[in-house]
Amino acid sequence: MKMSHKMQKPESRATIYLDANASEVSRPEARAAMLAAFDLVGNPASVHGAGRQARALLEDARDAVAGRFGGAAGDLVFTSGGTEADALAIHALGAGRRVIIGATEHDAIRAAAPGAVILRVDGNGVADLDQLADLLADGPALVCLMLANNETGVIQPIAEAAAICRRLGARLHVDAVQAAGRMKVDLMALGADSLALSGHKLGGSMGVGALLTAPGVDIAALIKGGGQERGRRGGTPALPAIAGFAACAGISDLGDQRDRFAVAASACGAIEIGAGAPRLGNTACLALPGVKAETQVIALDLAGIQVSAGAACSSGKVARSHVLDAMGLGALAGEAIRVSLPWNMTATEIDCAIDAYRAMAARLRPGMAA
C-alpha cells in the first residue's frame, strides 16, 4: 500500500542532517523571537495600541534586516520567501526590459522569467562576464545572477557583473538566498539594484523572506491586496516569522567546515564539482562516478545521513539538475549529491558522516563491491 504523507512516522533513530541548503537548522534566537511575537495581539495595520505595538515590532525587524544586508529600512519589502522576492524583483525591475539570467539560477528565477536569455557558465559554474557584456550591448535589460548557488555553493563575481551592468545601463538583481548568513552580503558593496533573501535559509522560519532594493528603485506590487508594505506587497505581514527572520539575520557562519568531508569523499573516488571556483564554506557537491545520485541519497539515508541530490523537486523525487548540466558535466550530473552542513554541525557528526560515505562508496562504486 502506498503511504500518504500523513501516515509516515517521524524518524526515531539518530540522524545527521547535511541538507542545510534545503532548509537551515532553526536558530534558538529565531525561535525565541517568533514565540514572543506570536504572543502579541494586534495587526500592524491597526491604529490602536495593540496595532502600534505590532507595527513597532515589524519596523524594528525591517531596520534589522535592511541594516544587516547594507540597505535602508524604507527599501525593504517583506515577502513570503525567496521565491516571491525573486518574482517581485523580476516583475518590478524587469518591466519593459529583456531579462538575462545565469544558466545556474534557481527555479525561483527561471520560472519567473520564462522567456529570459540564458547567460552561460564555465565548467566551475561561474558566469561568463564577456558574454554578459555582449548581451547587454543589445539594449535595456534586467540581469539576474545568484550570489551563491544552492547545489554547488559556487559564488558568482557579482561586483564585477554589477560594474558591467552599470556601464551598459542594465539593472542587476541578485538572489542572495543561499549566501546570506554564510558569507558577507551587502547590497551596496555588491553594487546590485536588489537582493532576494529567505528566512529559512538563515535558521528562521519557512514562509518569510525579503526583497531589498537600492535607493531610488521603485517596486510595483505583484500582490496588491490592502496596500501593506507601503503598497509594494499586499497581505498582512507574517509577524512572528518576520521577527524570527530579523533575530537571525545578524548571525553569520563564515567558517569553512566542509573540507574534511570533501577530502575524505575524494579519497573514495568522488569528484568535487565547482572546486575551481570560490564556494560557500558549508557546501560540497560530490559526484561518485558510476553510482546514480538517487542511489547514494537512499544508501546514506538508510545509514542515517541526510543529503540531497541535484535539485530535489517538490514531489520529493530527484530531478535532473539544470545547474550541473549547464556546467557541462555529462553523466556526472546524474551522479552528484549535495552535502550542505548546518550551522550547528559538530566534528563528531562529520566523522560519522565520513564513515557512512566511505561505507557507501565501498559498497556501490563499480568494481569496489566486496
Q: Quick check: 208 and 238 in contact, CB under 8 A?
A: yes
Q: Quick check: 75 and 213 in contact, CB under 8 A?
A: yes
Residue tagged 533573501 (cell numbers): 197
- The binder of ligand PLP chosen from 19, 175, 229, 349 (CB under 6 A): 175
Between residues 152 and 228, which has the closer beta carbon with respect to ligand PLP?
152
Confirm or reject binding of residue 178 to ligand PLP (CB under 6 A): yes
Q: Quick check: 230 and 220 in contact, CB under 8 A?
A: no
Query: Residue 59 and residue 61: Cα distance in Å, rounded?
Result: 5
Residue nearest to ligand PLP (CB): 82
Query: Residue 242 and residue 60: Cα distance in Å, rounded?
Result: 10
Closest approach of Cβ 83 to ligand PLP, in Å? 3
Confirm or reject binding of residue 191 to ligand PLP (CB under 6 A): no
Confirm or reject binding of residue 26 to ligand PLP (CB under 6 A): no
Confirm or reject binding of residue 229 to ligand PLP (CB under 6 A): no
Residue 7 CB contacts under 8 Å (≥ 6 apart), including other chains = none
Q: How many amino acids of this chain bind ligand PLP (CB under 6 A)?
A: 14
Confirm or reject binding of residue 24 to ligand PLP (CB under 6 A): no
Confirm or reject binding of residue 274 to ligand PLP (CB under 6 A): no
Confirm or reject binding of residue 83 to ligand PLP (CB under 6 A): yes
Binding to ligand PLP (CB under 6 A) within 109-168 occurs at 146, 150
Closest approach of Cβ 77 to ligand PLP, in Å? 14
Active centre residues (catalytic)? 313
Count of alpha carbons within 13 angstroms of residue 14, beta-carbon side: 3
Q: Quick check: 65 and 176 in contact, CB under 8 A?
A: no
Q: Are strands 283-287 and 336-340 parallel, antiparallel or unpaired?
A: antiparallel
Stretch that binds ligand PLP, among 56-64, 77-85, 117-125, 338-346 (CB under 6 A): 77-85
What is the b/e burial string over 219-252, where b = at least 16 CB atoms within 10 angstroms of the residue's CB? bebbbeeeebbeebbeeebbbbbbbbbbbbbeee
Between residues 195 and 345, which has the closer beta carbon with respect to ligand PLP?
195
Between residues 146 and 327, which has the closer beta carbon with respect to ligand PLP?
146
Query: Residue 235 and residue 84: Cα distance in Å, rounded?
Result: 13
Q: Are strands 283-287 and 271-273 parallel, antiparallel or unpaired?
A: antiparallel
Stretch that binds ligand PLP, among 45-53, 170-178, 212-220, 283-291 (CB under 6 A): 170-178
- The binder of ligand PLP chosen from 44, 71, 81, 125 (CB under 6 A): 81
Between residues 150 and 321, which has the closer beta carbon with respect to ligand PLP?
150
Indicate the SS3 state at residue 61.
helix
The distance of Cα 175 from the centroid of its chain, to the nearest Å, equals 8
Confirm or reject binding of residue 108 to ligand PLP (CB under 6 A): yes
Between residues 154 and 262, which has the closer beta carbon with respect to ligand PLP?
154
Between residues 153 and 191, which has the closer beta carbon with respect to ligand PLP?
153
**Which residue ranges make up the site for ligand PLP (CB under 6 A)?**
81-83, 86, 106, 108, 146, 150, 175, 177-178, 198, 200, 209
